[in-house]
Structure 1
Amino acid sequence: MLENVFSRKPEFEIVTMSADDCREMSELHGQRFARGWNDGEFVNLLLQQNTYGFVARQTNALLFKPSLAGFVLAREVAGEAEILTIAVQERLPRAGLGWRLMLAAMREAQARGGLSMFLEVDDGNGPALGLYRKLGFEIAGRRDSYYQDAEGRRSAALVMKRDLG
């Protein structure tokens, strides 16, 4: 019976992001991106009127306050929404969190009057590209040498778009 506690499939809830989440978001962003954003940058973005986000937390964790499993930060202005950043813990591949976070951001964009959503993704990020394509995003443009990794290698950003209507 004790083995069930340790092998239980994690369960998550997606909730509205708050400024209290920014420190953990900064830590996760720094783990997943070559140039992480600090908590002050997240707070400043979140305080902007048109910016919103969601966090994923494990609901069946053995901790008092479950750690941040993932988040998405977006904004909507004049009918156009944009994913500013999204990150999921590396230890949770293919758990469906990216999918659920993106759906939450897309629904909120629509509720705010968004007609389309844009995002940028590293052209070498196969898992993210697969997710975005499954969600109906299509390549709308390319920015060569946009990203730089920790070793200084540069890669292109693909600009992707999806209609929300």
Structure 2
Amino acid sequence: MREMRWWDLDAVMDLEHRLFPDDAWSRGMFWSELAGARHPEATRHYVVAQDGAGRIVGYAGLAAVGGTGDVQTIAVATEQWGTGLGARLLGELLRQATAFECHEVMLEVRVDNLRAQRLYERFGFEPIGFRRGYYQPGNVDALVMRLGELPAAPPSPDVPGLPGTETTHG
């Protein structure tokens, strides 16, 4: 796992369109997020995960403002589901939230994405509400989840059966 850079965007966009064909982020959205990641007053943190051949098989991003972290996106290639990669990506975002001195972390997840919800619950996130019609097209609701106390050390991704995640953007 390493910091996402501009030269990763072709591979990230390919994975983005495969996983989120109906509501994929644009290249400009990723550029905007990366612009907030590499300066002394950074409020963004984006990482990529690569397989043994160097291909990007996952990525994740966090925004932090006013002591609150927000998981912007976590994406894991389908061939990596069930490997713990989603947990490792989320763990990295939580480590960075601690570095950003966040006192809580929020996220949105599709109500029909039970795989991702189980992962977030394992990390201590709790449901706190819904955003009706948040995901378009399809008018799918988002479950809003909150982690109120950041763990000193995120759970180990080596727990048997710990799934990867393919959450839609927050």
Range of TM-score over shorter length: 0.7 to 0.9
Is it true that 1:21 corresponds to 2:8 in the alignment? yes
The alpha carbon displacement at 1:31 in A equals: 1.2
Q: CA deviation at 1:38?
A: 2.2
Which segment is superposed worse, 111-120 or 19-28?
A: 19-28
C-alpha distance in 1, partners of 2:108/2:136?
14
Q: TM-score, normalised by structure 2?
A: 0.80
* Corresponding letter in the other structure for 2:147: R
SS in 2 for 1:156: strand
Is 1:57 matched up with 2:43?
no
Corresponding residue to 1:119 among 74, 88, 107:
107
> Matches of 2:147 and 2:70 in 1, distance apart?
10
Post-superposition Cα deviations, 1:134-163, rounded to whole Å, max 9, x if no partner, equal: 1110011101122135xxx32210110002
RMSD over aligned Cα atoms: 1.3
Distance in 2 (CA, whole Å) between partners of 1:43 and 1:129 is 28
From 17, 32, 55, the equivalent of 1:30 is 17
Q: Secondary structure at the match of 1:31?
A: helix
Measure, in 2, the Cα distance between the counterparts of 1:22 and 1:73.
13
Instruction: Determine which structure has more spread, i.e. the larger CA radius of gyration.
Output: 1
The number of aligned residues is: 144
The higher relative CO (CA closer than 8 Å, separation ≥ 6) is in: 2
Task: Select which of 146, 153, 157 maps to 2:134.
Answer: 146
Deviating above 2 A after TM superposition, structure 1's stretches of 4 or more consecutive aligned residues are none
By how many angstroms is 1:56 displaced?
0.5
Is contact 1:81-1:117 (8 Å) kept? Answer: yes
Kept after mapping to 2: 8 A contact 1:25/1:39: no
- Corresponding letter in the other structure for 1:85: T
Query: Whose strand fraction is larger, Structure 1's or Structure 2's?
Result: 1
